[in-house]
Structure 1
Amino acid sequence: MRKSAFLLPGMLGALMAGSVAMADNAAIPSNQFWEQLQTHCGNAYAGKLGEGQDRPEFTGDLVMHVKTCSDTEIKIPFFVGEDLSRTWVLTKDENNLIQLKHDHRHEDGSEEDINLYGGKSTNVGHSNFQFFPADPATAAMIPDASSNVWWIELSNSEYSYNLNRLASDRAPFRVEFDLTKPIDTPKDPWGWKE
């Protein structure tokens, strides 16, 4: 009897600690961001360039498709007209930090020479904002991008993808998507594999 009396408080303590850890995990801003983004899985949305931008290379319909979601990875193809080469790949690690990579493909599905560049959050950010400074692999691959900073803003009504090249005089890039109006699901991006 005495032995079980000692075990019971220990077991209760472990269960309570597990509940607190679960509650704390749900309160982590990067997890809240992740969960909100996952609510859009399977949906596609129309986009537009941010105000005042002159980007002739981004003509045609701009579409994002939150194509696949898991606990650790979200893939979002980003189409520019008939150019189906781009996919944003977000991964979340065991420390609840999020990484953004850019997967670029040729029409035949092969990787472009410059591929899988991006960055990783340095902290858990905010539930509506995640920030990705260029990582060492990106700096080695594209030296001019070593001071790049990407970020994603997410609200109930809008998703925006942003890029600022801090060591350049080029204007920041921003594309905004209206999350209140899903559109027809587009075709697969180039080189897509489930």
Structure 2
Amino acid sequence: MEALCGQAFEGQLHRAPDGDDSLSGQRLIMHVRACEPDRIRIPFVVGDDLSRTWVLTRHEDGAIELRHDHRHEDGTEEDATQYGGVTVSPGSDFGQIFPGDHVTTARLPTSWQNVWLMEVHPGERFVYHARRVGTERAFHAEFDLAVPVDAPEAPWGWED
């Protein structure tokens, strides 16, 4: 991910839960905006909505934590924010799985069985997949890493 720092990429929605059209027909952009030694922040822009940022943090033990930072337009946190999980295995060179954790259960009680997958295929694609285990509920988006696009505005709540 660090090699992508500063770059933005357009994506396509490949799957969404039945009845959830919040991402359908919208331009999707991921922007690897901020890279620190142990934290990478990736705003996920949906149309004109600048409320979402994926935050990846590496722990001292090598585990990686995923948080979904959701903000209102005034920069304050939404009620459904900071959910995610921490890797429980080393993953692979190109992919990591993040099972939902206690923060997810506290913020989104019906989402305790959520699992997220992120894959990076250098020069090809970035995959974001979210699934509620035991159900058909899933999101799947892929971003074209071969063609950078112009970076979007700063996400809501960010100061440049």
TM-score (normalised: structure 2): 0.93
1:82 counterpart (28, 48, 55): 48
- Aligned partner of 1:189 in structure 2 is 155
Structure 1 residues without counterparts, runs of 5 or longer? 1-36
Alpha carbons of structure 1 residues 148 and 47: separation in structure 2 relative to 1, 3 Å: same
Identical aligned residues as a percent: 45
Distance in 1 separating the partners of 2:117 and 2:145: 17
Shift of 1:80: 0.5
Q: Where do residues 142-153 of structure 1 align in structure 2 (5 Å cutoff)?
A: 142-153=108-119
Structure 2 residues without counterparts, runs of 5 or longer? none
Shift of 1:52: 8.2
Q: Where do residues 18-97 of structure 1 align in structure 2 (5 Å cutoff)?
A: 37-50=1-14, 55-58=20-23, 59-97=25-63
Q: Where do residues 97-116 of structure 1 align in structure 2 (5 Å cutoff)?
A: 97-116=63-82
Q: Helix, strand or coil for the counterpart of 1:56?
A: coil
Deviations 1:109-144 (A, max 9, x none): 111011100000002110111000001121122111
Q: CA RMSD in A?
A: 1.5
Runs of 4+ in structure 1 deviating by more than 4 angstroms, as ranges, are 51-55
Q: Helix, strand or coil for the counterpart of 2:146?
A: strand
Bigger proportion of residues as strand: 2
1:165 counterpart (125, 132, 136): 132
- Aligned partner of 2:85 in structure 1 is 119
Paired positions, count: 157
Q: With a CA cutoff of 8 Å and minimum separation of 6, indicate the structure with the bigger relative contact order.
A: 2
Distance in 2 separating the partners of 1:52 and 1:192: 28
The structure with the largest alpha-carbon Rg is 1
- Report if the CA contact (8 A) 2:9-2:149 is conserved: yes
